[in-house]
A and B are shown apart, each in its own frame.
Chain A
Amino acid sequence: MVDRLTSPRFLRAVLPAASFAILLIAIFYLKPRTMSYFGLNLMLQYTVPIALATIAQMFIITVNDLDLSIGPFVGLTACIGATWLADTPLLGILALAGCVAAYAALGALIHWRNLPSIVVTLGMSFVWLGIAVLILPTPGGTAPGWVKWLMGVKTPVVPFPIVATVVIGLVVHLLLMRSSYGAVLRGAGGNPRAIGRAGWSLLKTKMVMFGAAGFFGVLSGLSLIGLTSAADAHIADRYTLYAIAGVILGGGEFVGGRVSPIGAVIGAMTLTLTGSFLTFLKISPDWQIGAQGGILIIVLALRALINRREGLV
């Protein structure tokens, strides 16, 4: 029993949840009043868009790629949501569907020409930003009513952001970790050649994963304007790094198809909490990003330690 509890695999699995719990306890200790429905709601309200962006990034990482454009992409979909989707819903829906299709096409391009995804998505991040600025040159617009309503739902007992995040994690877990095609998708990250040799189309797996990332990027943008009720092309620029950090904090690996949807949403929650935690510590906003990086490094160093121990066994 003790062996199992100290085994590297178990430790690695609980690390995301443990870091979240420790952070939460620290916050409760600093500000006991946050230990309430209202307090949690306030601290975690931005978890939903970050969790959705993190899931989008996780899909890309599953097939051994990296998306450096998810932040500007979320910004673009937010701009579309706050303008076209609110004014002429049909045009808005078409534009958002086009965004998802564009993502799938990027996946196809990356597979077909065997391009490094980092380069392609870095370039695309400027394209997304440019389109977003064209659509909404100055901050503004209005979120559609139903989006605002959805993001403002008051769930009983447990605040909405927590419920929504848990639902997102579970749904993606079901799709990616439990479905039979999900096994093929993850296998395409673990050993692409084996998947190809078993007769599956690697082009299709790439397109599905990039398309899914685009879809969750759209959801992230919409949920974000549901909270802010207006949009700005730069509204989600930071999400690119948040999303990568969330996946890695949640136990995912950059290569090899080893990802965890549940871990990823926990990672996103942890990232959201670090902001509040640092504010409660009265660290000036100038230092917060650096301090957030520090927390990330500590958690990742812990995981590296666990992995090293595993290497010794």
Chain B
Amino acid sequence: MNASDETIVALEDVAKHFGAVKALDGVSLTVTSGECLGLVGHNGAGKSTLMHILAGTLDPDRGTIRVGGSDLSNRYNVGVAGENGVRCVFQELSLCPNLTVAENARVFHPSVTGFGWKRRAGTLIREMLDEIFPGHGIEAEDVVGDLSIGKRQMVEIARAFTTTDLPLRTVILDEPTSSLDAVTSGQLLRFIRRVLEQGVSCILTSHVLGEVLDVSDRIVVMKDGLVIATRKGSDFDRNSLVAAMGNVVEIDEIEQHEAREKLRGVAPVVVEAAADRARDTVSLTAHQGEIVGLAGLAGHGQTDLILKIYGAAMRGKGPVNVTRPVALVAGDRQTDGIFHLWSISANIGIRSLAKTVRRGLIDPLAEAAIGAEWRDRISIRTPDMQNNILSLSGGNQQKALFARALASDAEIILMDDPMRGVDVGTKLEVYDLIRAEAEKGRTFLWYTTEMDELYNCDHTFVFRDGAIVADLARGDLTEERVLHSSFQESA
């Protein structure tokens, strides 16, 4: 390591709000030449937002951005970032699937143009792939859409390190190893150490804490849009890092839940499913009247399992054993949940058509009756249930989706992180509703990325890489344990 004092990137008091959500609430950060900065934090801590602002793909609401000493705050965008040597490997891949590997390299470098550009772009990317991932087996003429996800990620990473006429100072790596296997991950981490020696700096996030600990000179811990700790990498170990990421909250309700926990084994099993049968040691079971939490970092197989259970219930086959009718509460309201052009009542009634159909047609009175009933039961705030669903606030739209599921004959309610972007008041109302419905014998499977919501569950399963890695009774549930299980044991 020859980390000098030369500051390459400096952020000061950067903030970004999405509506009421404070994704970043005043973050200051510096990266010096030849330094690898590890960035860790739980879901929603603000890591990705911070990286997008640094990459120039999001404008901050306030704060200053300096690169190489010059203040770029008001004119910072992707182009300026590139000219100043700041590159980003995004978590969601940004390659064009219809282009070849070489063409994707060209798209990244405005200067690769003119006669013979294809050959030059191909050489550029192939040499960098050879250097980072020896034996990668990728041709410059391969169409990206035909490559496996791991190879695409290799191309994306290699592309960020290729240089033409523009300088290369800082590469932001957002979960670069999420689709790489152990061998290629190792190759990447060794390569990062090599480029650091050449004075290039890196900002790294990874859900594999071992990688961050191994390669980072300095580690910044984020929580709720703020930096809560910055220390030298060698000062952290796995346990102290996890402890820094989440504060351990004691909750009084544990006893209540433990009483319910005793029902496990007495009440009949209504769902039995394995996330990935090949690797699972634990399988998910839910008993009647239970609220089961599905935890772990976002996108680690929770939604897949929920959809698998839903599919099994609808088609009555597959490896999942579901014994009762199910209903799904979608998380992404706008795309998976509401029917934009329909009234609130129609949106609620769609899951209960059998109840409202008279002689093959939907009886508007019956539909309105269901709507009116649920408006009172879960207090949807609207003057008229015949209004368009979009006239409701986001929280009330979500309530309507809950009403759709609860009004139905379903005894098992699947919830796909339904509380995203919902205000606290609505959340508390819905928690009470869920509790009350569970008392009546309904079973809830609740995928959530928010720790606080897990405290409402009787039993929690933690997911990682598509498999269930922990099975926690309510008494054992702590944020630290969930985090420990969510992040891989070893690099």
Where the two chains meet, the residues of A that have a C-beta atom closer than 8 Å to any C-beta of B are 9, 178, 180-181, 183-184, 186-187, 189-191, 193-200, 256-258
- Residue in chain B with minimal CB distance to A62: B98
B341 to chain A, nearest CB (A): 16
B42 within 8 A of A: no
B206 within 8 A of A: no
A252 to chain B, nearest CB (A): 11
Q: A198-B107, A199-B78 are in contact. Are A187 and B96 (CB under 8 A)?
A: yes
- Residue in chain B with minimal CB distance to A310: B146
The count of A-to-B residue pairs whose CB atoms sit within 8 angstroms is: 69
- From the candidates B93, B98, B108, B117, name the one contacting A198 in the complex (CB within 8 A): B108
Task: Taking A187-B99, A187-B104, A256-B97 as given, write out 15 further A-B residue pairs in contact, using a Cβ cutoff of 8 Å, ordered by the A residue number.
Answer: A180-B113, A180-B117, A183-B103, A186-B98, A189-B98, A190-B98, A191-B96, A195-B107, A196-B57, A197-B78, A197-B88, A197-B90, A197-B94, A256-B98, A258-B98
Q: How far is the CA of A257 from the CA of B88 in the complex (A)?
A: 24
**Is the Cβ of A197 less than 8 Å from the Cβ of B96?**
no
- Residue in chain B with minimal CB distance to A255: B98
**Is the Cβ of B110 less than 8 Å from the Cβ of A199?**
yes
- From the candidates B79, B96, B114, name the one contacting A190 in the complex (CB within 8 A): B96
Which residues of B have CB within 8 Å of A194? 93-96, 107
B329 to chain A, nearest CB (A): 29
- From the candidates B78, B93, B103, B110, name the one contacting A187 in the complex (CB within 8 A): B103
**Is the Cβ of B107 less than 8 Å from the Cβ of A183?**
yes
- Residue in chain B with minimal CB distance to A177: B103
Can you list 21 A-B contacts (CB < 8 A)? A9-B146, A180-B112, A181-B113, A183-B103, A184-B107, A187-B98, A187-B99, A187-B104, A190-B96, A191-B95, A194-B93, A194-B95, A194-B107, A197-B90, A197-B94, A198-B78, A198-B82, A199-B79, A199-B82, A257-B96, A257-B98
- Residue in chain A with minimal CB distance to B100: A183
Q: How far is the CA of A190 from the CA of B93 in the complex (A)?
A: 12
Indicate with 1 or 0, residue by residue over B68-105, a CB within 8 angstroms of chain A CB atoms: 00000000011100100000101001111111000110
Which residues of B have CB within 8 Å of A9? 146
Which residues of A have CB within 8 Å of B90? 197
Indicate with 1 or 0, residue by residue over B94-134, a CB within 8 angstroms of chain A CB atoms: 11111100011011101011100110000000000000000
- Residue in chain A with minimal CB distance to B120: A180
B55 within 8 A of A: yes
Q: How far is the CA of A197 from the CA of B78 in the complex (A)?
A: 6
B278 to chain A, nearest CB (A): 21
A226 to chain B, nearest CB (A): 34
Which residues of A have CB within 8 Å of B57? 196-197
**Is the Cβ of B112 less than 8 Å from the Cβ of A191?**
no
Indicate with 1 or 0, residue by residue over B280-323, a CB within 8 angstroms of chain A CB atoms: 00000000000000000000000000000000000000000000
**Is the Cβ of B55 less than 8 Å from the Cβ of A183?**
no
Which residues of A have CB within 8 Å of B79? 199
- Residue in chain B with minimal CB distance to A256: B98
Indicate with 1 or 0, residue by residue over B136-164, a CB within 8 angstroms of chain A CB atoms: 00000000011000000000000000000
Which residues of B have CB within 8 Å of A199? 77-79, 82, 110
Which residues of A have CB within 8 Å of B113? 180-181
Q: A191-B94, A197-B57, A256-B97 are in contact. Are A183 and B106 (CB under 8 A)?
A: yes
Q: A180-B113, A181-B113 are in contact. Are A200 and B107 (CB under 8 A)?
A: yes
A258 to chain B, nearest CB (A): 5
Q: A199-B79, A199-B110 are in contact. Are A183 and B97 (CB under 8 A)?
A: no
A312 to chain B, nearest CB (A): 15
Q: How far is the CA of A195 from the CA of B78 in the complex (A)?
A: 11
Q: Which of B55, B77, B88, B110 has the most CB of A within 10 A?
A: B110
Q: Which of A184, A186, A196, A197 has the most CB of B within 10 A?
A: A197
Which residues of A have CB within 8 Å of B112? 180
B244 to chain A, nearest CB (A): 31
Which residues of B have CB within 8 Å of A258? 98
- From the candidates B55, B93, B96, name the one contacting A195 in the complex (CB within 8 A): B96
- Residue in chain A with minimal CB distance to B98: A190
- Residue in chain A with minimal CB distance to B80: A199
Q: How far is the CA of A236 from the CA of B400 in the complex (A)?
A: 51
Closest 4 CB pairs of A and B: A190-B96, A190-B98, A194-B94, A187-B96
B115 to chain A, nearest CB (A): 10
Which residues of B have CB within 8 Å of A197? 55, 57, 78, 88, 90, 94
- Residue in chain A with minimal CB distance to B92: A193
Q: How far is the CA of A193 from the CA of B458 in the complex (A)?
A: 41
**Is the Cβ of A180 less than 8 Å from the Cβ of B106?**
yes
Q: How far is the CA of A9 from the CA of B79 in the complex (A)?
A: 36
Which residues of B have CB within 8 Å of A190? 96-99, 145
Which residues of B have CB within 8 Å of A183? 99, 103, 106-107
Which residues of B have CB within 8 Å of A178? 118
Q: How far is the CA of A193 from the CA of B91 in the complex (A)?
A: 13
Q: Which of A178, A180, A190, A199 has the most CB of B within 10 A?
A: A180
Q: How far is the CA of A121 from the CA of B98 in the complex (A)?
A: 26
Which residues B144-196 have CB closer than 8 A to chain A? Answer: 145-146
Q: How far is the CA of A278 from the CA of B58 in the complex (A)?
A: 57
Q: How far is the CA of A180 from the CA of B99 in the complex (A)?
A: 12
Q: How far is the CA of A183 from the CA of B96 in the complex (A)?
A: 10
Indicate with 1 or 0, residue by residue over B41-82, a CB within 8 angstroms of chain A CB atoms: 000000000000001010000000000000000000111001
Which residues of B have CB within 8 Å of A189? 98
**Is the Cβ of A187 less than 8 Å from the Cβ of B94?**
no
B292 to chain A, nearest CB (A): 34
Which residues of A have CB within 8 Å of B104? 187
- Residue in chain B with minimal CB distance to A189: B98
Which residues of A have CB within 8 Å of B107? 183-184, 187, 194-195, 198, 200
Which residues of A have CB within 8 Å of B78? 196-199
Which residues of A have CB within 8 Å of B103? 183, 186-187
Q: How far is the CA of A181 from the CA of B55 in the complex (A)?
A: 23
**Is the Cβ of A180 less than 8 Å from the Cβ of B98?**
no
Q: How far is the CA of A196 from the CA of B110 in the complex (A)?
A: 13
B79 to chain A, nearest CB (A): 4
Which residues of A have CB within 8 Å of B145? 190
Q: How far is the CA of A80 from the CA of B470 in the complex (A)?
A: 73
Q: How far is the CA of A282 from the CA of B63 in the complex (A)?
A: 76
Which residues of B have CB within 8 Å of A257? 96, 98-99
- Residue in chain B with minimal CB distance to A184: B107
